[in-house]
Structure 1
Amino acid sequence: MAEQAFNRNYLGTIESLKNELHLKQLQINRLLSITQAINNNVSALGLFEMYRSFLGWELGIRKMALYVKEDDQWHCACSIDISKELLDQDISSFFPRFTRLVNLEGETHSLVSVFDVVIPVRHKDLPIAYVFIGGFNEEEDMYNKIQLITTITNVIAVAIENKRLFKRQLEQERLRKEMELAAEVQQMLIPKKLPQSGFYELGSIYKPQMSVGGDYFDFIEFEDGKIVFCIGDFTGKGLAAALLMANFQANFHTLITRRLELDEFIQDINKSVFEITGGERFITFFICEYDVKARTLKYVNAGHNPPVIISANKMEFLKTGCVMLGPFPDIPEVKIGYATIEEDEAVILAYTDGLTDIRNSDGEYFSEEMLSGFIKAHYTERVDTLNTQLMDYIDHFRGKETIPDDFTVLTCKVYCQAK
């Protein structure tokens, strides 16, 4: 009897060792195949399919759900014998509880209760995967199988995480190159030198907050003594905005040299913007034509912050115009505004809304009233001096607060007598 009992125990031990050896061999083989797949750059879907096949066919796992994180959202990457209805349930609120291997016996949630255990996978102290396992075929092998599943899951999850990080790195590099190209395009569009004649001078403050901003300004001088200048604010940033700006500039120069009336010009350039963007982008825009001889100006304000004319006895905001450019193929009505410069000198100042988005440490905005008040006090200065003083005033106002958005100031100083 003792000998028979010994033989049974001996045979049981041998069988247990054989099973354990079999699992170890499975682990080695599967790790080798997964490593080869990773080295061969097999897709995430391919790795998930290898994982599901290994657990289902080679380990005999009857129920499984593997959750991974993508774009800060948890989702089920692969599963075994779990209905779509159950998988559609969001169980991510349970995950913070699972900091180690957890027995799910007693769980009441309709999806969580399907499984026996959950195995969390962490990488650099952060959870990157959770695998829910249920339906072990052989109870006595549960411990060894869990160890094997944990190892394989770690390898798969870390590989997927590395793929995700590499993809993000490539995307960041692509965006960096795109922004560099967009910045180069935009730098070519922004005038490097503004005109200064005896009867007028233009100056600017141009502060893009990224390498590429959405602000635009331009000018054209004509031989008959007229000058046209404009300022605009484009929605969006990056290469798409820069290319739209380049197209806009080309159309601006083509159309304005035809000497169209400003209302016709606005209709035509609006059509060109709409044709390119399909109404998905828009531009706030202000254009002004100043006649040096007559000392008059006409303008159209297309949804832009109202520029202001300031002289010794005058402050006039230039609001007449139409809706912004781009949302619609046709603008219902375009009104042309008119003004006359009656004093010896005056300043026409236009800006983009990033200027009035600037705040100080008390949360107060740099208001339109502050801007016009400052210009009123300093309008006799030459343009470059005026803009330098204005920038100092803005910096003093905001203190240590950052500038939240692009802003541009376009200043036109006009004189009765040549300077």
Structure 2
Amino acid sequence: MEDRHSRFELKTLLETSRLLIESHDMDFVLNNLLLITMGKLLITKAMVLIYQPAEGNYVVTKSKGRNCPEEGTKISFPEPERVKEQSIIRQDLDDVALPEIIEGETQCTLFNLQTSNHHLGFLCLGAKGNKQPLSDHEQEFIESLAIISSVAIANSRMFTELRRINRMLDRKVYELNTLFDLSKDFNMMVDRDEIVRIFKFAMLGQMLIRKFFFILEHEEERSLAASSGIKGQPSQEEIDTLFNFEEDLVEVDESVEEDVPFLKKNEIKAVIGLNFQRDTIALVGVGARANGEDYTRSDYNFLRSLGNLALLSIQKSYLLEERIEKERMEEELNIAKTIQRGLLPDPIPEIEGIDLSATNVSSYQVGGDYFDVAQTPDGNYLFAIGDVTGKGVPAALLMANLQAMLHVLLPIEITLAEATDQINDIMYENTPSDKFITFFWGKYYNEDKSFRFVNAGHNPPIWLRKGENESRELEEGGLILGAMPTTTPYHEERIILSEGDILVFYTDGVTEAMNPEQTEEYGEERLLECVRKNRDGAAKEIQDAIIQEVNAFSEDTQYDDITLIVLKVL
């Protein structure tokens, strides 16, 4: 009879194991754990306590029976660390201090719910119907059931987290596609009113924001450029106070409302600063969302990206207007040259542990050379260099569009390879067939000195390691941008830099410089030899040596821009 009983219990455990572990529903797992336990032992009161590590207490997640605490009730134990170490705790029988867990019950038994690595909580059982203590056999059965349930609970948590991450990734992809679509619209606009109108509709439609304002600084004047649902105008003093906030993101609280009553009057929830070349020149204030959801860090990043996109387009429109007013388009060459120079970073960021120098030496012609060094929101740095086919205003504007897309991508969590796929498709769809870009970009990580890069048909940068004469060319990537749609995804590669390593990024204005007879190019071998000879110098010295040698080779006759970035690990 006992063997038959044991076989029945074993079958029950096996069936329960399959049922619970295959389920990803936490409520189903906990409900079945209580029902099986209460049915087996004829117990009328039971509940599951789930551990909350951040608060150091337990929450009643599932309970059944009279006088059991309501679900959501928090419970603390006098000796929490000691309690977590026990497999079974019998109230008033074991030497462990417990509060009155179930009102009127003095014979509660707690079974530890745990995996090999984590304590999850307790299965708490009231007294049996006959008031007899649990037998050893019954305790073993419940312990086995607790082990099975612990695995099921852990699996359910993991599945829930995976679903949350997948939802977050889906939302990221949607936001990225939205930004790229808006980028195409903005890049075709030079009318600021139209740019502001599209920005306003994006705020209302994409984020369900009914109240917002956009304050812009231009020529040292700060004013309200756009708004929706806003009552009145902020005073100049209030605007100046907003611009003086140290953080780029300020969530409005009582102290902020005291400093800027305009925010309280319009129920503004957060103010986001927008930067251009390290200076805050615009602000976006947002009210509550129409669906009542709180803003997440991802939402703020999307708003910042959207604002930066509009801001860059507005700045481009101002830049074009200013050039037209001042020079009246007397020379297409001069206007394009000014636009191109305005796209380059000034000053070059200082990076801890890196000696960095970069320059663009313009020729008499205007080319499409471009480079950028920008800090990403995670504190690392992005390096980019490129060259557009052709010269003049078309090449300069095409490079301006590329720069706008790069700055939009800075706060977005996406790999370089995926971003390059998107940039290439946009360039292909929105540029003539004879316009394309050779492009190289990479991200430097401060923590481990690693460098991830994608080369889209650009002159491969030189990587010269300390103590070695042979260099390596950074070629991994794919086709030039804009030549054809992305059929084969771009690839990225990761390298680790060490002390004394040198990276040299350059455009073809360096290697294709011609001698006076127009019979020979300067070439990659001369460039590499110049880097070798000057490897012990600082980054600026290496850069100057290259330019000096190129000029000497061509006898100061320059037909194309010379663009260089020299990075040396200290």
- Which aligned pairs between 1:387-406 and structure 2 lie closer than 5 A? 387-399=543-555, 402-406=557-561
- Which aligned pairs between 1:19-98 and structure 2 lie closer than 5 A? none
Q: Deviations over 1:203-257 (max 9, x none)?
A: 2231222352210111211354421101000012212222211111111111233
CA contact (8 A) 1:205 1:408 kept: yes
2:513 to 355, 358, 372: 358
- Which aligned pairs between 1:6-405 and structure 2 lie closer than 5 A? 176-210=330-364, 212-222=366-376, 224-314=378-468, 315-342=471-498, 344-361=499-516, 363-399=519-555, 402-405=557-560
SS in 2 for 1:325: coil
Q: 1:331 to 1:174 in 2, by over 3 A?
A: farther
SS in 2 for 1:354: helix
CA contact (8 A) 1:182 1:212 kept: yes
CA contact (8 A) 2:364 2:558 kept: no
* Pairwise CA distance, 1:289: 1.0
CA contact (8 A) 1:322 1:331 kept: no
CA contact (8 A) 1:180 1:211 kept: no
Q: 1:174 to 1:281 in 2, by over 3 A?
A: farther
* Pairwise CA distance, 1:311: 2.5
SS in 2 for 1:300: strand
Provide the residue aligned with 2:92 in structure 1.
none
Q: Deviations over 1:89-120 (max 9, x none)?
A: xxxxxxxxxxxxxxxxxxxxxxxxxxxxxxxx
Distance 2:427 2:509 in 1: 22
Q: Deviations over 1:292-345 (max 9, x none)?
A: 211111111100111011122342110111000001232423111221113x22
Q: 1:259 to 1:345 in 2, by over 3 A?
A: farther
Q: 1:360 to 1:236 in 2, by over 3 A?
A: closer
Distance 1:364 1:283 in 2: 25
CA contact (8 A) 2:441 2:454 kept: yes
Which runs of no fewer than 5 residues in structure 2 stay unpaired? 1-326
Q: 1:276 to 1:347 in 2, by over 3 A?
A: same
SS in 2 for 1:187: helix
Distance 1:392 1:304 in 2: 23
TM (norm. structure 2) is 0.40
* Pairwise CA distance, 1:178: 2.5
Distance 1:304 1:413 in 2: 21
Distance 1:394 1:292 in 2: 32
Distance 2:331 2:555 in 1: 33
Distance 1:291 1:312 in 2: 19
Q: Deviations over 1:240-291 (max 9, x none)?
A: 2222111111111112331310111101111221232043310000011111
Q: Deviations over 1:366-387 (max 9, x none)?
A: 1211111211222232222221
Q: Deviations over 1:99-145 (max 9, x none)?
A: xxxxxxxxxxxxxxxxxxxxxxxxxxxxxxxxxxxxxxxxxxxxxxx
CA contact (8 A) 2:377 2:411 kept: no
1:407 equivalent to 2:562? Answer: yes
Provide the residue aligned with 2:284 in structure 1.
none
Provide the residue aligned with 1:90 in structure 2.
none
* Pairwise CA distance, 1:175: 7.1
CA contact (8 A) 2:376 2:410 kept: no
**RMSD of equivalent CA atoms:** 2.1
- Greater relative contact order structure (CA < 8 Å, 6+ sep): 1
Distance 2:460 2:452 in 1: 14
Q: 1:364 to 1:240 in 2, by over 3 A?
A: closer
Q: 1:380 to 1:293 in 2, by over 3 A?
A: farther
Q: 1:383 is matched by which residue type in structure 2?
A: A
Which runs of no fewer than 5 residues in structure 1 stay unpaired? 1-172
Q: 2:541 is matched by which residue type in structure 1?
A: T
Q: 1:174 to 1:330 in 2, by over 3 A?
A: farther
CA contact (8 A) 1:378 1:386 kept: yes
How many residues align? The count is 241
Q: 2:353 is matched by which residue type in structure 1?
A: F
Q: Deviations over 1:31-80 (max 9, x none)?
A: xxxxxxxxxxxxxxxxxxxxxxxxxxxxxxxxxxxxxxxxxxxxxxxxxx
Q: 1:211 to 1:368 in 2, by over 3 A?
A: closer
Q: 1:357 is matched by which residue type in structure 2?
A: E
Percent identity of the aligned residues? 33
Distance 1:180 1:259 in 2: 38
Distance 2:335 2:523 in 1: 34
CA contact (8 A) 2:329 2:335 kept: no
SS in 1 for 2:398: helix
Q: Deviations over 1:8-43 (max 9, x none)?
A: xxxxxxxxxxxxxxxxxxxxxxxxxxxxxxxxxxxx
Distance 2:497 2:350 in 1: 18
Q: 1:296 is matched by which residue type in structure 2?
A: S
Distance 2:410 2:456 in 1: 16
Distance 1:359 1:210 in 2: 15
